Amino acid sequence: MEILKVNDLKKNYTTRFGGTQVQALKGVSFSVDAGEYVAIMGESGSGKTTLLNILAALDKASSGTVVLDGKDLSSVEESELAAFRRDNLGFVFQEFNLLDTFSLKDNILLPLVLSGKSISEMESRLAPIALSLGISEILTKFPYEVSGGQKQRAAAARALITQPKIILADEPTGALDSQSSSELLRVFSDMNRNGQTILMVTHSTDAASHANRVLFIRDGVVFHQIYRGGCTNEELYKKISDTLTMLRTGRNG
Amino acid sequence: MKRGFYRKIAWNNIKKNYRFFVPRILAEMGLLGCFYIAVTLALDERLREIKGGDYIPTFMAMGVAVLVILSSILMFYTNSFLMKQRKREFGVYNVLGMEKRHIGKVLLHEGLISDSVAIAGGIGVGILFYKLCSLLICKLLETDVIVGFYFITLKTILPSALFFVAVDLITYFFNRVSIARMKPVELLSSKSAGEKEPKVKWFLLVIGVLTLGSGYVIALTTKNPLQALGLFFVAVILVIIGTYFLFVSGSIFVLKALKKNGKYYYNKKHMPAVSGLLYRMKQNAVGLASIAILATGVLVMISTTVSLYTGMNNTLDRTYPEDIYLSADYNYGTGERDDSVAVPTDILEEAVRKAAEKNGVEIQYVNPEEYLFVSYYVQDNHLYAESELYAAMGNMEVMAGLREFFFITNDTYERLTGERFDLSGREIACCGISSASEKASDMTGTIYLHGCEYNVKNQFSDFPCSIAMLSNPFSTYGVVVSDQSALEEIYRNQRAAYGDFASKITSRICVKFADRKAAGAAFDSIRKDLREDLSAYVKSQKADPDYLAWCLDCVWDTRVAMLGMYATLLFLGILLGAVSMFATVLIIYYKQISEGYEDRERFQIMEKIGMSKEEVKKTINGQVLLVFFLPLVTAGVHLAFAYPMLKSMLNVFMLYSNRLFLDCALITYVVFALVYVLIYRGTSKTYYKIVH
């Protein structure tokens, strides 16, 4: 079942001086099925951040449509946008974006508090998620008291707790050391195995090799994609590296 | 390095950090301006020549003392704020290869530029507004304005400028030392380190509750106005300590309790605000407490001085039911104690009537009155002459138990009221006079005085002697004795007890003119005629007119003295009120900016995880509103508790119209709140700009 459908998405920027138009996205189309784990790769400047911002409803496309679970994002009223994002999307950021003034527990519960859930429901949702992410013991701690990996797992818990249709992750391993990275990627794989749809933007080959499918973006279009098929992570890793090499040489040559 | 290099960097820094520098420069200008005005007013000899202007130097000197303290605190506060915000900047310089002494040079040049602008500007502001202030003070003193020129002299410019130069120099050296002690790594990362959630400081909380509580208790329970004068400052200090401690610890206590309450805390409306405040309180409690105290100070100063000034005519009408009170005696120069002779009241009356007629002023009535005025220490039903007690008790102890007594005869009472009591021998009638005193009910049964027993036969209210209106803050009683011999008995006994400090039986007349204003205009001439007339009488009694001693208490002289005092006080209140207002604005402004920078990140995150712009705005508003209006509410509560004590202190100044003071206090509070809201709105704009 298709949960996200992106159709011929274009985004133009007008530069500050002179008014020349820059096309960041030149017609991106792809779709994500429910329960899929998709990685989007591309070099900086390829348009992947622009794409993610549009998917997250933080930015508007110049043309084209994004349909999430049958609902066109552009049809959501401005005033309902915040609530829509809160209820349908989960976010994991490179810089964690946890609030220093909240304990991890309060950080995780914040989206539920914002949508006005009861305390009992909050607690019953929190317990299993915290357990599966291995942060039950440190819930009362504050972000500055725990490691980067723990912070990012708390951020993942915050994304999961609203039971979103899709989790959008923006370079989630970007600020982590390799040990914490692989732990987090394991967490993501577990989440996905439990049926959670994940869309991750990254330029880490290792991170991408955990996904079911990898999309490559270059110069504002989807340039190539790889399906996992029956590959192990290592085999997928190899495939991705080859593709990246090919992309690079293709450009140079 | 090239000449002018540091100056260029300094200039650039000032431009870049204008949000911090400009308010500091403006504040220094304002403070210096006020300082200059106070110093100049104290030294301007032209003002001393105005009627009532003799209070100006003393009160302005007090004002200067307060300004010295306030300005130093504020300059240090703004400086430390500036340095804190710029730590990172200095760290970058250091990393880029500037040595600390180079940074010091940059600081020096920054200081030279900003301080010279501030000091020159401040003197300019002072000179400009001095004219306005001297006009205002003349207006308050109800004199024709001094014409002409500005009063500009190095005598007042130099001390003002030098004081601020000194403050600037001290802050500069302070900054150099703190830069010398810093480590660049710490500086660069100083902001990213997370802050611990504040803990409740129980010790401070307990002390805060105790000090604030006892301050309030003192304010509420002190009934004796004289004690109020002394205890007021004790109460003020207790309340100040209590305010600081409770802002620091009490706020966190309350917020933590709210946080513990899950039902309350896990709510969209409360959660961001409570946790935000918890952190904000840690950094801002001291600033907020300072605002609360400054605000209370402004309110107290303005409301009391305004009510004294505006209530003056009312006070005069009350304390002077008649226009003049005249008594006179003369002696033959022998130096003996019994040498002096009182001028009989009918002679006094005749002299007044003659002088009035000569000057074309109509007299409404003349009342002669005769009384003996003595103070006694009261314990149960015993009255002791105070001199008997000083040996046995402490000075203050005696003072606190001292009461004043007006003795008049039944005849005098009858003449003044048309009624008389049925008294004989040592029977007396009693009455409590001053508004603060316990009414006469505590003078019952038998009173022991100078070894004699007096029987209180009657109680009454409204003592008819007008002198009693002038009674001081001691509790005062009026006593009617049976006849002249009884009065003279008391007179003799107290003379034996007090010796050289004994009171005399005073005979005097109270004169009411038909038109107070007209009589006032002619009074200098009336006074001269009276003096001549009485001198002639003394001469006719074969005594030297030089030995005439007269006591002429007139409403107009008192008015000049009161006006001088109250007008100067009011002016001082306005000046210090303005300075405190400055200080409040400054603290609020700096708080807003620093919080803006800190909150920016937090609100960006909240928007990212699904809080709408509206919700963010609401949260900011609620949080900021609470933080802002907490000091205002605190000031209101402080003022409410101080109210009874202030009222009784105003009684010392013979302001008995409580209604007036209540109105003044309320109006001052409302006006202050309005100004505060304006400040709040102005600075909020800057805050929103930073956050978004």
Contact B88, B16 (CB under 8 A): no
What does the alpha-carbon distance between residue B238 and residue B233 come to, in Å, rounded to a whole number? 8
Which has more confidence, B320 or A165? Answer: A165
Mean pLDDT in residue range A196-210: 90
Q: Are B602 and A99 within 8 A, CB to CB? A: yes
Q: What is the pLDDT of residue B622?
A: 75
The conformation of residue B153, written as its DSSP 8-state character, comes to: -
| Token pair listed for A5 | 């459908």
Tokens in use for B598? 């800190």
Asked if B611's CB is within 8 angstroms of A81's CB, the reply is: no
Q: Which residues of A69-96 are buried (b: 16+ CB within 10 A; e: fewer)?
A: eeeebeebeeeebbbbbbbbbbbbbbeb
* A142 CB within 8 Å of a chain B CB: yes
Chain B nearest C-alpha distance from A233 (Å): 31
Higher pLDDT, residue B196 or A57: A57
Q: Provide the ipTM.
A: 0.80
Which residue from A210, A188, A195 is spatially nearest to A165, judged by alpha carbons? A195
Residue B397 confidence class, pLDDT cut points 50, 70, 90 = low
- Average pLDDT over chain B reads 83
Of B196, B278, B610, the CB nearest to A86: B610
Find chain B residues with C-beta within 8 A of A83's C-beta: 610, 612
CB nearest to B611's CB, from A82, A91, A106: A82
What percent of chain B lies above the pLDDT cut of 90?
16
Q: Rounded to 5 degrees, what angle do the CA atoms A187, A101, B88 make?
A: 105
| pLDDT above 80: residue B396 | no
The pLDDT assigned to B440 comes to 46
Of all residues in chain B, the percent with pLDDT exceeding 70 is 90
State residue A252's pLDDT score. 46
pLDDT score of B215 = 93
**What is the model's pLDDT at position B123?**
93
**pLDDT tens across B303-329, in order?**
999 998 988 888 888 778 788 888 888
Q: Does A109 touch chain B (CB under 8 A)?
A: yes
B278 neighbourhood in chain A, CB within 8 Å: 101
pLDDT at B18 > cutoff 60: yes
Q: Is the pLDDT of residue B536 over 80?
A: yes
Q: Phi/psi of residue B589, each to 5°?
A: -60, -50
Whether the CB-CB separation of B46 and B65 falls below 8 Å is answered with: no
Residue B336 has pLDDT above 70, yes or no: no
* CB–CB contact B271 A86 (8 Å): no
- Beta carbons of B275 and A114 less than 8 Å apart: no
Two tokens, residue B664:
């003044």
pLDDT band per the 50, 70, 90 thresholds, residue A134: confident
Record: contact A81-B602, CB cut-off 8 A:
no
Query: How many A/B residue pairs have CB atoms within 8 Å?
Result: 71
Average pLDDT estimate for A87-98? 87
Q: For the residues B623-646, what does the mean pLDDT come to?
A: 87
Contact check, Cβ <8 Å, A144/B194: yes
pLDDT at position A17: 64
Question: Is residue A110 within 8 Å of residue A102, measured between CB atoms?
Answer: yes
Predicted local confidence at residue A154, as pLDDT: 93
**Which residues on chain B are in Cβ contact (under 8 Å) with A122?**
266
Question: Please, where are the H alpha helices in B609-657?
Answer: 613-652
Burial profile B397-436: b = 16 or more Cβ within 10 angstroms, e = fewer: ebbebbbbbbbbbbebbebbeeeebebeebbbbbbbbbeb
Closest partner residue to A101 (CB to CB) among B279, B610, B615 is B279
Out of A122-126, B382-386, B472-476, B598-602, least confident range? B472-476
Residues of A in contact with B613 (CB under 8 A): 82
Q: Choose from B266, B281, B601, B616 for mutation: most chain A CBs within 10 A.
A: B266
Check residue B466 and give its pLDDT: 62
Residue A42's pLDDT band (cuts 50, 70, 90) = confident
Backbone angles phi and psi of B134, in degrees to 5: -70, -35
Tokens matching residue B279: 């952190």
What pLDDT, on a 0 to 100 scale, did the predictor assign at position B571? 92
For residue B194, the chain A residue with the least C-alpha distance is: A144
- Over 80: is that where the pLDDT of B566 sits? yes
Chain B residues whose CB is inside 8 A of the A109 CB are 266
Which residues of chain B are within 8 Å of residue A85 when distances are taken between CB atoms? 610
Helices (H), B181-224: 184-189, 202-221
In angstroms, rounded to a whole number, what is the distance separating the alpha carbons of residues A160 and A151?
Answer: 14
Residue B436 reports pLDDT greater than 50 = no
The verdict on a CB contact (< 8 Å) between A101 and B606 is no
pLDDT of residue B437: 46
Residue of chain A whose alpha carbon sits nearest to that of B262: A119
- What is the rounded average pLDDT of the residues B385-409? 71
- Give the residue from B60, B650, B641 showing the smallest Cα distance to B306: B650
Do the chains contact at A119 and B266, CB–CB below 8 Å?
yes
A97 touches chain B (CB under 8 A): yes
The residue ranking higher by pLDDT, B391 or B7, is: B7
Would strands B382-385 and B341-342 be described as parallel, antiparallel, or unpaired? unpaired
Please tell me the distance in Å from A100's CA to the nearest CA on chain B.
7
- Establish if A106 touches chain B: CB-CB under 8 angstroms: yes
In this complex, the residue of B608, B613, B614 whose CB is nearest that of residue A91 is B608
Q: Identify residues of B whose CB sits under 8 angstroms from chain A CBs.
A: 193-197, 262-263, 266-268, 271, 275-276, 278-279, 602, 605-615
d(CA B554, CA B533): 18
Is A76 an 8 Å CB contact of chain B?
A: no
| A164 interfaces chain B, CB cutoff of 8 Å | no
Asked if A144 is an interface residue toward chain B (Cβ–Cβ < 8 A), one would say: yes
- Measured on CA atoms in the order B638, B640, B641, B643, is the torsion positive or negative? positive
Q: Is A124 in the B-facing interface, judged by CB distances under 8 Å?
A: no
Nearest CA-CA distance, residue B605 and chain A, Å: 6
Binned at pLDDT 50, 70 and 90, residue B6 comes out as: confident
Q: How many CB atoms lie within 10 A of CB B537?
A: 20
Interchain pair A85, B610: CB under 8 A: yes
What is the pLDDT, as a whole number, of residue A158? 92
The pLDDT score that the predictor gives to residue A253 is 38
B318 touches B535 (CB < 8 A): no
Q: Which residues of B touch A158 (CB under 8 A)?
A: 609
Q: What is the DSSP letter of A144?
A: G
> Would you state the pLDDT for residue A126?
92
pLDDT of B395 higher than 80 = no
This prediction has a pTM of 0.75
Alpha-carbon distance B603 to nearest alpha carbon in chain A (angstroms): 9
Q: Which of A212-216, B236-240, B315-319, B389-393 has the lowest mean pLDDT?
A: B389-393
**pLDDT above 80 for A165:** yes
**Min CA distance, A101 vs chain B (Å)?**
6
For residue B599, what are its two tokens? 């909150």
Which distant-in-sequence residues (6+ apart) come within 8 Å of A219 by Cβ?
A: A26, A46, A47
Q: Do B194 and A142 touch (CB under 8 A)?
A: yes
Kindly tell me if the per-residue pLDDT of B335 is higher than 70.
no
Q: For residues A91-99, give the mean pLDDT.
A: 87
Distance CA A62, CA A41 (A): 22
- List the single residue in B with minimal CA-CA distance to A98: B605
Q: Is there a contact between A113 and B267 if contact means CB atoms under 8 Å apart?
A: yes
Say yes or no to pLDDT of B472 above 60. no
pLDDT digits (tens, 9 = 90+) for B197-255: 778 888 999 999 999 999 999 988 877 776 777 788 899 999 999 999 999 898 889 88
Among the residue ranges B568-577, B606-615, B668-677, the one predicted with the least confidence is B606-615
DSSP state of B333: S
**What pLDDT does residue A250 have?**
65
CB proximity A125 to B under 8 Å = no
Phi, psi of B654 (to 5 degrees): 65, 30
Q: What is the rounded distance in angstroms from the CA atom of residue B581 to the CA atom of residue A234? A: 70
Rounded mean pLDDT of B434-439? 49
Q: How confident is the model at residue B39 (pLDDT cuts 50, 70, 90)?
A: very high
8 Å CB contact between B219 and B641: yes
Among the listed ranges A180-184, A218-222, B3-7, B188-192, which one has the minimum average pLDDT value? Answer: B188-192
Q: Using CA atoms, how far apart are residues B67 and B42, in angstroms rounded to an integer? A: 13
Distance from CA of B257 to the nearest CA of A (A): 15
pLDDT at B393: 61
Mean local confidence (pLDDT), B351-377: 85
Residue B149 confidence (pLDDT): 55
